[in-house]
Structure 1
Amino acid sequence: MDNNNTMDLSQIPALQPPTGTVSNFIDPTNRGPTYVAVASIFLGLATVFVGVRLWARCIIQRSPWWDDLVCVIALLCQGAYCGLNMWLCLHGVGKHMWDVRALEFPPLIDPARAMADVTELSIGFTKLALLMFYYKLFWPNVATRIGSIVGMALIVPLYAILFFCFVFLDTAQTVPLNKGMAILNVLSDFYILILPITSVMQLHLERKKRLGLAALFSTGLFACIMSIVGAVYRFRFAEDGVDFTWGLLNVILVNTIECSIGIMCACLPLFPAVFGNPLLTMQWITTLRSLRNRLISSGSNRSRPSVNGYSRSKSNGEGDCFEMKPKNGPVDGKLHSASITATQTPASSAGSRGGIEVRKDFSVNSVDRMA
């Protein structure tokens, strides 16, 4: 065989360039370093946020729960996802395929498939951590509790199925799955965004505090926007993925930002417990711990209004004495004063009467004085 006729794959592009374009193996347009920089920043921020969450839960509040573990798993999956993408960007992803040597393209296929497998784990665990956090925080609200359970019951099996499909199916067979995953991401993101806001707006809080909490939980709106952008790129990539190395970067860049923001949103409500001043810290911890007891479903602590212009004062003791006094001066030209003696009983025996059982043999003393 004549060696002169042997093709040198190091000088042949992985894809024939368009008409009028010349392959550039020396200094081509390369967006790979941009991804490495953006992924490093967002992954670093997500790591800091998870660290703050663990500090607040384990050290300050001393109340860790399963959602903290799920959040850590999501961060580890996100780290693996970003690591694979960075390797891909250092070996050709981010360039046009006609600027990638034919010899360099085959080694990209297996890491790209592994990256696609990790995507479902990273996104799925992030959404699961958010739903578990809402489930614990808004437990007294039946609608939000059921909504969290339904969300978890749907997200866990769906993303598990997607994971195994991407592992065992051929690349050509995963094209419809990419479109389905894009739609699932958008719908689930908006579902998770709306779920806590509806509960927060029903709390018995001042309008300013309700709006503040709603704004806090609305930070996931940016993740929803990135999810929509990611869906657009997924559809484009699935329908026209000829320039593989160039189009793939758009998808992984948006997914990296979306998932990192999701992790940060799951940790953000615990930030004031660490970085706030002592007064703000105590108020925030108290707020988070008492949100479940301040929902509409718990209305047992409503204030008792005055009756017929009289206010009631209470003296502590084994027998509680309620003294009724005129709230706005004499009534009908006379000052009426009455005292009723009552005995406290356990709430279980008093039932719905608030733990106070009035004796039948009470006495009322009234003193009338002319104005």
Structure 2
Amino acid sequence: MSPTLPSTITDEARARAPISSATVVGVSVLYLILATVFTGTRIYTRYTVYQQFWWDDWSMVLAWMGTIALCTLFIMMMQHGGGLRRDDEPTRDYKLYLEIFQDLQMVARTSMFFAKLSILLLYVRLFYPKGVARSLFWWIIQAVIWLNFLYTVGLILAIALQCVPYHKPYGSSCVDQYMVLISASIINIISDLLVLLIPMASLWRLNMSRKRKWAVWALFAFGTLAPIASIARLAYQIPMADGTDTTVIYMIVVLLALAEQVIAMVAGNAPVVSAWFVRLVLKRGKRDAVSPAEAANVPRTLTQRFWPDREGHQESPKERRLRKWKRSGASDPYPITITTVQSTASQEALDPRHRSLGDAESGRGSEAWELSENASIAAGTKRHTQNLN
């Protein structure tokens, strides 16, 4: 992007703007606060409670950095005429405005990719810990990841090369910006729906009670707002995106895109943040909530905490034959529905075959908080113990 020059927009023009500068700054600050609070709480929880990071955590950090860049570019668009009537914006500012919008589209697609990648990798970590065999849903998750990656690369190339010469979206030799926006929104809606449907189907394979499944699914339910935001953006773009008042239209499009980005981040962080919320805010499960290192009486170094690794352990041939004979599904993603983590060095927290987890369900972990009623917990624990025997 070319260096940003001082704006020549008058105060009278800003006073007549349909979208005020205060609105742009206020919304940007709100989005940044939400993204920072949820991402920061996630990192704190993974560092102190679980003491183990994986690629889903680092992907969310990249999405958070992308959100900061998005809000910064959004404010820069406002400084160069974003929100004003097209007739009130000088030509020089309008050129810079369109250049910034072009950069923002590429940053938005990259940031959204990492947010969705974090959610999909969270599914892998929860539903397929070490020792759980790959199933059809595992391959579906991988397919959605690669489809999102290819879509991201394709859209970035389409935006970057849409004009000849490069970075002259104001000229007449560009592809149809209207079709780029509409096509991107349609593909994004399909991607959002795929990301939303995967946990719905995977949860019913877990060895837990029906009520507890609904409770876990409720943690992901906030993600339904992401496709709603995408549909709202598409509904606005179809009749309006080819209009001439682009200084207002593009700002509204960016507002909706930022909303979708923040919703995806909140939905991706919610399953991890829930453990922190229950332990520190509701003050439940505090006595039993121990870290994997505390459970094993082995202190974990910074390298061990930050080096990406998954919970569980590799399945032995005997365990694999037993699982196939019983036709059992994936285990309960234990840390989501309970704040206690009884495992050895964060390697066996999600593995129901491990003795420490059996002890937790039968003894000291029974008083820890779960997203279900006590009766359903007891029933689910009893069925789980029978399966182990």
What is the 5 A alignment of 1:28-107?
Answer: 28-32=16-20, 33-107=22-96
Deviations 1:318-337 (A, max 9, x none): xxxxxxxxxxxxxxxxxxxx
2:16 is aligned with what amino acid?
P
CA separation of 1:198/1:355 partners in 2, compared to 1, >3 Å: closer, same or farther?
A: closer
- Cα distance in 1, alignment partners of residues 66 and 267 from structure 2: 17
SS where residue 30 of structure 2 aligns? helix
- Cα distance in 1, alignment partners of residues 257 and 70 from structure 2: 10
The equivalent residue for 1:246 is 248
SS where residue 244 of structure 2 aligns? coil
Work out which of the residue numbers 147, 151, 169 in structure 1 matches 2:162: 169
| Stretches of structure 1 lacking an aligned partner (at least 5 in a row) | 1-9, 14-23, 302-353, 357-371
Deviations 1:125-154 (A, max 9, x none): 111111111112111461321111111111
SS where residue 188 of structure 1 aligns? helix
Q: Larger C-alpha radius of gyration, 1 or 2?
A: 1
Deviations 1:30-55 (A, max 9, x none): 41422321221122111111111111
- Cα distance in 2, alignment partners of residues 300 and 232 from structure 1: 39
Question: Percent identity over the alignment?
Answer: 25
TM-score in terms of structure 1 length: 0.68
Q: Is contact 1:96–1:246 with CA below 8 Å preserved after alignment?
A: yes
How far apart are 1:355 and its partner, in Å? 11
Work out which of the residue numbers 140, 143, 149 in structure 2 matches 1:150: 143
- Cα distance in 1, alignment partners of residues 81 and 180 from structure 2: 25
How far apart are 1:253 and its partner, in Å? 0.3
Q: Is contact 2:196–2:223 with CA below 8 Å preserved after alignment?
A: yes
SS where residue 51 of structure 2 aligns? coil
The equivalent residue for 1:273 is 275
- Cα distance in 2, alignment partners of residues 297 and 84 from structure 1: 52
TM-score in terms of structure 2 length: 0.65
- Cα distance in 1, alignment partners of residues 290 and 221 from structure 2: 18
1:272 is aligned with what amino acid?
S
CA separation of 1:102/1:121 partners in 2, compared to 1, >3 Å: closer, same or farther?
A: same
Q: Which has the higher contact order (CA 8 A, sep 6+)?
A: 2
Q: Is contact 1:201–1:211 with CA below 8 Å preserved after alignment?
A: no
How far apart are 1:300 and its partner, in Å? 11
What is the 5 A alignment of 1:222-237?
Answer: 222-237=225-240
Deviations 1:245-302 (A, max 9, x none): 011111000000110110111111011322223654657999x979xx99x953699x
CA separation of 1:355/1:272 partners in 2, compared to 1, >3 Å: closer, same or farther?
A: closer
How far apart are 1:237 and its partner, in Å? 4.4
Deviations 1:56-79 (A, max 9, x none): 112220110011111111111111
Q: Greater share of helix residues, 1 or 2?
A: 2
SS where residue 154 of structure 1 aligns? helix
